[in-house]
A and B are shown apart, each in its own frame.
Chain A
Amino acid sequence: MKPTIRNKLLAGFSGVLLLMAIVAAIGIYSVFSLRKSAQDATRVGGQLNAVALEIQVHNLEAQRRIVGYLADVKKVGAKAARDTYLDEATFEIHEIETLADRAVKIAPDAEKREKFQKIVTSVAVYEKALNDVVASVESGKPESEVTAASDAYAKSADQLHDNAEDGEAVGRDAAQTSQEDIVRTSQRAVWLSVGVSILGLLLGMGMSFTLARAILNPVDHLKEVAESVSMGNLDVSVKRYSEDEIGDLADSFSRMVAAVKYFRLEMEMMESEAPKQGL
């Protein structure tokens, strides 16, 4: 493609448009990236928090059932107390296990997974302590052993409660971490956009400067030559700076100067020969 002024301008404008498209693409990417981060933050943090709260609720419900069982087992008998309270308590414990497993799966990193893994472990301890209480009550063991088993159960319930509270904190922390991710991503996007914009601006300025020089230098030269010729000085050298329209103009001007020089010399020769011929 010939480097004409039209082509140079086209290339310059295309370059600027390309840079603008890149900046726009980065902007769009950043917006979608931020939206995704925000959705992730809401989803993961919220889910972990909700799971931990549900665990607390199931834990309280299970404890309420066990307290009821312990209070009524001697009045209504083991089987009736089991039917009324223990089946429900077992269901609650199973729910806690399921929720804790789910939280382990969705936790975003190892540290948070470990917290929920502790809930899984404490549920197992809790279940064992519950079975010990039930066994000691139903097998008619001495009051001291029943009390010891009940204390162990209460301790395990407290442990489960503490671990569930840690889980809640982890949920909040996950949301917070995601918020920090969003801030980091947005800052990165802003800096990236600013960087690309500055780069685009510098490249645009460079291209404009180069383009202006490519056009103005030959024009300045032609102007100087034309002024010189207009003042009667034909001993000028017309340079062809570029292969564009201005280069063609320089060639035309060069031809014109050569023709004027030639005709002037021819006229001078004719004038000097005329007196000899008696003209």
Chain B
Amino acid sequence: MSAYDSVLAVAKTYMGPAAESFLSRQCQVGLKTEAANLTKAQFKDLAAWVEVSACRFIDRPKAEEMSKRIAAL
């Protein structure tokens, strides 16, 4: 399982079918990289972006939870 796949698995439990597109956008906009090239070292930065962006679609506590889980991977 690649780094991206493990992040995607977590994101899917919160964003469902939108997880893939959501993560792709966070990588492009926040990390200036493609999702497929995501490395473990970028997880913390990604988690910060995810926390801010996910609040628009899910409750804040859930967004924080998702961010923590990604950061902990």
Contacts and interface: CB of A to CB of B under 8 A. Distances in A.
Contact of B17 (A251, A254, A259): A259
B57 A261 contact: yes
Nearest to A255: B16
A91 interface: no
Which of B12, B13, B18, B21 has the most A CB atoms < 10 Å from its CB? B18
Interface of B: 12-19, 21-22, 56-59, 62
Interface in A247-264: 251, 254-256, 258-259, 261-263
Contacts of A266: 21
Contact of B59 (A237, A256, A262): A237
Contacts of A251: 13
Nearest to A265: B56
Contacts of A262: 15, 18, 21-22, 57
Contacts, number: 34
Query: What secondary structure prevails in chain B residues at the interface with A?
Result: helix
26 contacts: A237-B59, A251-B13, A254-B58, A254-B62, A255-B13, A255-B14, A255-B15, A255-B16, A258-B14, A258-B18, A258-B57, A258-B58, A259-B15, A259-B16, A259-B18, A259-B19, A261-B57, A262-B15, A262-B18, A262-B21, A262-B22, A262-B57, A263-B21, A265-B56, A265-B57, A266-B21
Which of A251, A256, A258 has the most B CB atoms < 10 Å from its CB? A258
A256 B56 contact: no
A266 to B, nearest CB: 7
B56 A261 contact: yes
A256 B21 CA distance: 14
Contacts of A254: 14, 58, 62
Contacts of A256: 16
Name the 6 nearest CB pairs between A and B, nearest first. Answer: A255-B16, A262-B18, A259-B18, A259-B16, A258-B57, A261-B57
Contacts of B62: 254
A263 B58 contact: no
Which of B12, B14, B16, B62 has the most A CB atoms < 10 Å from its CB? B16
B18 to A, nearest CB: 4
A261 B17 CA distance: 11
B16 A258 contact: yes
Contact of A263 (B12, B18, B56, B59): B18
Contacts of A255: 12-16
B26 to A, nearest CB: 12
Which of A251, A259, A261 has the most B CB atoms < 10 Å from its CB? A259
Nearest to B62: A254
Contacts of B12: 255
Nearest to A263: B18
Given A258-B58, A259-B15, A263-B18, 14 more contacts: A237-B59, A251-B13, A254-B14, A254-B62, A255-B15, A256-B16, A258-B16, A258-B18, A261-B56, A262-B15, A262-B22, A262-B57, A263-B21, A265-B56
